[in-house]
Amino acid sequence: MINALRGMKDTLSPQSETYLYMIETCSRIAEQYGFSFIETPILEETALFKRSVGESSDIVGKEMYQFIDKGENDVCLRPEGTAGVVRAFVQQKYDKAGEKRRFFYHGPMFRYERPQKGRLRQFHQFGAESFGESDVREDATIILMLKAMFHALGIGFTLEINSLGCPECMPVYRTKLVKFLETREGLCEDCERRKLTNPIRVLDCKNEHCKILLSDAPLIVDHLCASCKDDFTTLKSLLDQFGVTYVVNPKLVRGLDYYSKTAFEFVSSEIGAQSAIAGGGRYDRLVEFLDGKSTPAIGFAMGIERLMELVKMPEVAREGYYIAALCNDALDVVFKLVDQKRKTDKVLTSYDAKSLKNHLKIADKLYVKFCVCIGEDELSKQTIWIKDLESKEEKIINIVHF
C-alpha cells in the first residue's frame, strides 16, 4: 500500500468542512476590508526566497523543498506566501504606478522540517498583504481585521506587539546588540549562527539557558528613532481606542529578514508550546529588495491546520433533499427528478431501491431536511411522498408540483 508522504496528510470530512468554513469566513472578512484574492504559483525560483526571506533564515538554510528541474532551473516549492505576492506586485508594475493594492491569499506551503503536532511539511496558510500605505493606521487595520477573523471563528487569543525599528535606528541597535552578545558565552548553536547573520533573531530563542543569558539584552524599543517611536505610540493608542487588548513584547521578532517597524503575533495557550496562531508586520523594504520601486507594505499569515481544532463551528441546519426509490420501476423517475431539483437545491440520492425505513435512516445520517420517496403507489398516481425531517411533517403531493 502506498501511503501519503511523511508530514503530508489528506483532509477529509469533517475536517474538510472546518477548513472550508475557515477559508470562507476569512475571505469574506478580508473582502469587507477591501482586499481582493490573489493566487500565486506554488513553484517559484529559489532566488525569490533567498533574496526576500533571507539567506540567514531557517527557512532558506534548512527547510526549503529545493531542486533543479528538467530545464536546469533552480526552483522550490513556496515555503511562505508573502514573497510570491510581492513578486507578482512588482511583475505587474503596480509599484511603478504608485498604486495602493491589498491582496489576500490561501493555499499550500511547503517546508522540510520535523513533523510534529500542528506542524506539517505541506501545510496551508491564509494571509493578506497591503502595499503602498505607510500610515500606521494601516498597521492597526490589519490587526483589527485579524481580530475580526478570530472572533468570527470563535478563537481566543492574546495579541503581542513590538517595533523592530527602521534603517535609521536598527543599525545602531544592531551594533549594540552584537557587542552585548560577544560578552555572552554558552549560547546554543542556533544563537551562535544567528549572532553573525541576523542577531535580532537571538532574542527569540526558545532555549531556556539562552533566555537566562539574554535576560538583560538591550531592546530595540529602547533605541527607536523619533519617527518609529511616534508610530509605535500611535499604534498603541489606536488599539486602545478600538478596545484591542495587547501586550508589548520587546523581544518579539519576526523570523524573516524583511520586516521593520511594526511586528505582531496573535498567540493562544490552547495549542501547547507552539503558541503563535498568526503573525505579521511591516516590510517596507521588501519590494525594493525584489527590484521594485520602494513601496511601504504590511501583511500577516496564519497557519490553517494549527487553528482548525480551535474553530467553533456554527450549528449546521439541515438542508437539501434525499430523493430515492422504493421499487426498481421508480428508479428512472427518481433520477429524472434528482436532475431537475439540483438546478435549485442540494440533492442526494441512492442508486438502489430500498424500504422506506432504510431510506429514512440514510436521509437522517446525511442530515438533509427532506426525504422524498417514490414507490409503486406514487408511480400509479403520479405523486411523491415527502417527509420534513425537522418538523416530522409528512405529505403526498402531485409530482408536477415538486
Burial class of residue 399, CB neighbours in 10 A (0-12, 13-18, 19+):
middle
What CA–CA distance (Å, rounded) separates 274 from 264?
A: 15
Least confident of 51-65, 258-272, 298-312, 314-328: 51-65
What CA–CA distance (Å, rounded) separates 336 from 340?
A: 6
Q: What is the pLDDT of residues 381-397, one digit of tens each?
A: 999 999 999 999 999 99
pLDDT score of 62 more than 70? no
Least confident of 175-179, 330-334, 347-351: 175-179
Location of C-alpha cell 474538510: 16
Please state at what angle helix 170-181 crosses helix 189-197, rounded to 10 degrees.
Answer: 140
Torsion over CA: 324, 325, 328, 329 (sign): negative
What CA–CA distance (Å, rounded) separates 224 from 173?
A: 8
Mean pLDDT of 240-259: 86
Q: What is the pLDDT of residues 180-201, one digit of tens each?
A: 888 888 888 888 888 777 888 8
Q: What is the dihedral of CA 150, 154, 155, 161, to 10 degrees?
A: 40
pLDDT for residue 153: 96
Q: What is the pLDDT of residues 99-137, one digit of tens each?
A: 899 999 999 999 987 766 557 899 999 999 999 999 999
- pLDDT: which is higher, 188 or 84: 84
Average pLDDT, the chain: 91
Residue 151, helix vs strand vs coil: helix
What CA–CA distance (Å, rounded) separates 308 from 18?
A: 6
What CA–CA distance (Å, rounded) separates 8 from 107?
A: 14
How many percent of the chain have pLDDT more than 90? 69
pLDDT score of 162 more than 70? yes
Which phi-psi region, left, alpha or beta, contains residue 168 (left: φ > 0; alpha: ψ -120 to 50)? alpha
pLDDT for residue 316: 84
Least confident of 198-207, 234-243, 313-322: 198-207
Q: Which among 234, 38, 225 has a CA at the least distance from the CA of 138?
A: 234
- Alpha carbon 8 to its chain centroid, in Å, reads 17
Peptide bond into 167 cis (omega under 30): no
pLDDT band at residue 398 under the 50/70/90 scheme: very high
Question: Beta strand pairing status for 321-325 and 101-110?
Answer: unpaired
pLDDT for residue 215: 86
pLDDT score of 5 more than 80? yes
pLDDT for residue 257: 61
What CA–CA distance (Å, rounded) separates 287 from 190?
A: 28
Least confident of 54-68, 219-233, 290-304: 54-68
Q: Name 85's Cβ contacts closer than 8 Å, sequence gap at least 6.
A: 38, 40, 103, 105, 127, 129, 299
Mean pLDDT of 248-277: 82
pLDDT score of 332 more than 90? yes
